[in-house]
Structures are given as C-alpha cells and as structure tokens.
Structure 1
C-alpha cells in the first residue's frame, strides 16, 4: 500500500508521555509490511471537505507486489500496478499515478526520519473492527506537517490517518471501513475498461541548470527533468524534493516578457506558490507545489537560482 500522507493531532498529544522506543519499533514494522503483506479492503478519503470511497487489493507473492485500486464514487476509475509500475489505468487515474511514479527515494526509513520527526505511541484504537495502535509523528520544525497513524496490530499497516496543519486543522483523512488479509485473487484482474499503458522507466536525474539556495532541513533533491509547458511553447524545468514523507515540486518557466502576477493557493494539504524572479536570461516564474506549509513554499520559491549545486541543510 502506498502510504498516503498521514498526519498528527498536534495539540493534546504534545502533553502525553512519549513512548519513543515502542513507536520507533512500530514504524519499523510499517516500513517492512508495505512490501510483504497481502490484503484487501475499502477506504474513504477526505480532502478539502470532499469525500471519495475506494476498494484496494494487494498481493505479495515470491517478492512480486501486484495492486489494484478502484474508485467507487462517480465515473468508474481503476489502476493496476506490478512492483509499483502501472500496467493499466482508466483516464481518470492514469495521470495521478504517473505523477506519483515521478517520486524517487521516498521509501519509508524510520531511522532517517527520526532526525526530522519525533515518533510517539499515544494509545490504542479500533478501526474497521480491528485493534490498532495510535502513533504520533511530530515534526521537529515548522516546515512540514505532522501525522497521526492508526496501525493495525496484526499487520502494522495503516488503517487510519489524519493530516493536520500547525493550527490543528484537518487537511486530509484516510480511513479503512473494511480490511482483511484474506484476499480474493480474482479481484486483482483488471476490468475491460482498464487501458494498457506503457511508462518508460528511467533513473533519477540529479543534475539541473537550477538550484535552491535554501531547503528545509532533511529535504533532498530526488529528481530533475524538463517538460513542455501546458500553457505555452516554453520548456519548463522541474525539480522534486522530499524528506522521506513530505514532498514538493518546483517548476521554472521563462516569461519572455509575459505579464504574470505572483500567486498562492491551498487545497487541502497541497499548496501552490508562484513567484517571479529575475535571472541573467530574463524573468522566470517559479512555482512550488507540494504538501508543505505556505510560508515554506514561498521561501523555497524565492531561493531558486541558476546553477547545479543544491543547498544541503
């Protein structure tokens, strides 16, 4: 299962005793379970006040991970993946999965994450009729959100997650309503509406004509590329960054004299900040998109410079 952004209840949990050793052990179990545990279930997803429901199946056999995801609301939407690579998808999900597969180096590593997040065991819970343990993943600075994870006591997979901002406001919810380790293998077969797709696999590119003079501690360059602009004939430079949980992209598009104003917006956990900066070759619009606070995104946008050496902090 892909770990959806899973975030912490900041307020009341901060005054509770921290059971760090147990929490780190559970995080280690979660990291292992994602690639070893077969399961099926249905879950609800809430973002920006809207809800959707989904069915998911995952089978792990001889080291091969096969997944199928269905959206149960609105127009039918489906995707099938093998070892993380998309095999087929309906149009509604293909673009989302392609974007997700652009992220490299984001496999869960509790030891590395402990530098940027504090793990706490905060109690017991019950989700989808199954006993669970509740963990808090508290950010150590203001540049990322926290997590609340409700992990299944049997499999260590997340049955429920919440993402909240620094004010304790809910940004995103993910919660199973049914979960089972008894999987019906026939349900892994794609329907006739799932169109075969081909995605060329490539290694992450860590060289670019752009760099950031400032990054939040723990964030590293994951990938760099260029792509056509959807709004003009220009080529847009693209960089992706992550800390092992949080992630964001930075896009640089030459303006060529175009009059474009700065902008900022937020939809659920995702922010988009656009800033005009000046370079030797003319003005460029820098846009930062990702699951980080607005102030952090603005600071990253203003820090972008031409040159290949990345800031490491």
Structure 2
C-alpha cells in the first residue's frame, strides 16, 4: 500500500490545504531552526513510546538545545548548532545522528529525490499545521510526512513511512510554547550529562571515503572519537540528502574476532562488515534510517583514501 493511501486510511488529514508550493514550506522549515521554543514531544519507534522535553534557543551565539527524556532512564543531551556538548552515560558510547530541523534544506535538490506534495491540513499540539508528503523517487530512502506549523513552519509532527506503507517512526509535539524566550537556566545540563569532545577526522592518519553513495547523499561531517576497545580513534562519517541520513563508523580491530551482520531495527538499518586494509582489519558499521540493502551497499563500498588514490593512478 502506498504511503499516501496509508495516511488517508488512518484519517490523519482533516481538510484540503490552501494552495501552496511545497518548496516554499521546505524553505520555511529550514529557517524555523531560528525560532526559540520549549515543549514536550513523544517519540515512537518499534511500537515503543518515550516522552521528551526540549528547550531550543536561537541567538547570535548559535542554536542551543537541551533534550531530556521524561520517562524511563533520564537521558539527556545538550547540543550547540547540532553538535553534542554533553550527554548521559547511557548515550556516551553512541554518536547521535539525530538533528533538529536546523539541517540545511535545499528544496530544489530534494525535489530530484522526492515527489513533494502539500496534501492537507491538521492540528497538532493545539496549533494549525500544513501536511507535506515527500515520496522517494528511488528505493534508497523512505517517505516522510511532515506537519508544519502554519505560523512558523516548525515541524510539529513527523512520520517516517516504509515503501509498504508501514509507520516506522513518529515524532509529535504534545505541548509547545513559542511565546516566551527560553531562559539560559533551562539550558544548563544536569550533573549526569557528561562532556563530549570530538576531533576532526582529517587529523587521522587513515582517512576514509565511500566508493558508492545513494544518489543525492553527501558527506555532511567527519569526526573521530576514542575507541572503547583500543587506543586508536574511531572514524565517524555522517551523510545525508537533506532529510534522510546515515552514519558510518570505522574501527581498527587489532585481531579481535567479530562477525559480519545486517539488521533492520524499525526504521534503522545496522550493517557491519570486516574490511581488510594494509594496516590490518577494520570493522565498518553503517547505521541510519535507510533500507538495509542500501546500508549494506555503502558498507561494501568503504575505502581507505590512500587506497582510493593509488587505484585511480
């Protein structure tokens, strides 16, 4: 079942939207990161729900945001311009690839990869919203349904939908306040939020690149972090097409026995494979909200930059 039929069946759309260009809404959405707000949202994945508080403050010194899980473990993340500054112990061993709507959107480029449609209106967290659907033009990404605030274009609700019309992931505000400025005190992390520091991957002696990427995906950021099993840094590459995203981790194994694996955890594909290099075996892991077949092809294409240069000669 196509995603649009699935959406209509569940009755998420309430009235026809006023005439508007989807590209305009996407551009407004990109600018909505400069809107300060605080509120509460629910996140659904694999049938599990969690509730989170968010404080988001945009100013001359950048965009500061603090997220705090309100049920279950009190997980916490503090970010500045999308880059984590501290996170709870339970998150310390994971590089978060979830970014707020501050990601840079290029409607013209997205239109090459998605069929963009404004298909209705809805009401989320007591606010009127316009419903925008992005249907993928290939098999390398999923469909998105975005409920954008009519006043600010801030995403009030986001659904990630598979090619079979299955709901993979839901983000939805249940309370949102845009009327008051976020106070600096609200952005102060608790004692359980441990500082995070990253160095640029360009400083590594062994840089990496993907030999194949899904059309429209680009390298957004390259970092490195300490390995939990050795003194060698783990390379971390982040790719995106403006909406969909995935990350690639490359960790030296030093003789550690590991097996290749491929898993689909709700919307998230996790593919790991051992790769032989001149300096020893490396474990390549691709993690992201893309089909598992796409993630596997990316993992198989990873190359050491030095090897790529020599093969091109």
Could you tell me whether the CA contact under 8 Å between 1:44 and 1:51 is conserved in 2?
yes
**Which residue number corresponds to residue 69 of structure 1?**
67
**2: CA distance, partners of 1:197 / 1:138:** 39
Which one of the candidate residues 128, 131, 141 is aligned to 2:128?
A: 131
Query: How much has 1:134 moved relative to structure 2?
Result: 0.6
**2: CA distance, partners of 1:67 / 1:296:** 31
**2: CA distance, partners of 1:67 / 1:258:** 38
TM-score, normalised relative to structure 1: 0.78
Could you tell me whether the CA contact under 8 Å between 2:227 and 2:233 is conserved in 1?
yes
Query: How much has 1:291 moved relative to structure 2?
Result: 1.5
Could you tell me whether the CA contact under 8 Å between 1:78 and 1:194 is conserved in 2?
no
- Root mean square deviation of aligned Cα: 3.7
Query: How much has 1:254 moved relative to structure 2?
Result: 4.2
**Could you say if the C-alpha distance between residues 190 and 29 of structure 1 is closer, same or farther in structure 2, counting changes exceeding 3 Å?**
closer
TM-score, normalised relative to structure 2: 0.78
**Which residue number corresponds to residue 26 of structure 1?**
25
**Which residue number corresponds to residue 9 of structure 1?**
3
Which one of the candidate residues 156, 175, 180 is aligned to 1:178?
A: 175
Query: How much has 1:70 moved relative to structure 2?
Result: 2.5
Query: Residues 212-234 of structure 1: CA distance to partner in whole angstroms, max 9, x if unpaired?
Result: 22111112223334444324555
**Which residue number corresponds to residue 270 of structure 1?**
268
**Could you say if the C-alpha distance between residues 236 and 94 of structure 1 is closer, same or farther in structure 2, counting changes exceeding 3 Å?**
closer
**2: CA distance, partners of 1:305 / 1:290:** 19
> Unaligned 5+ residue runs, structure 1?
1-7
Q: What secondary structure does 1:99 align onto?
A: coil
**Which residue number corresponds to residue 209 of structure 2?**
211
Q: What secondary structure does 1:149 align onto?
A: strand
Which one of the candidate residues 219, 222, 246 is aligned to 2:220?
A: 222
Query: After the TM superposition, which residues 1-313 of structure 1 pair with which residues of structure 2 at under 5 Å, given as runs?
Result: 9-11=3-5, 22-35=21-34, 37-61=35-59, 64-84=62-82, 90-92=88-90, 99-100=96-97, 106-183=103-180, 185-186=182-183, 188-190=185-187, 193-194=190-191, 205=202, 209-232=207-230, 235-308=233-306
**Could you say if the C-alpha distance between residues 230 and 20 of structure 1 is closer, same or farther in structure 2, counting changes exceeding 3 Å?**
farther
Query: Residues 224-279 of structure 1: CA distance to partner in whole angstroms, max 9, x if unpaired?
Result: 34444324555544333222222222233444554432211122222111123444
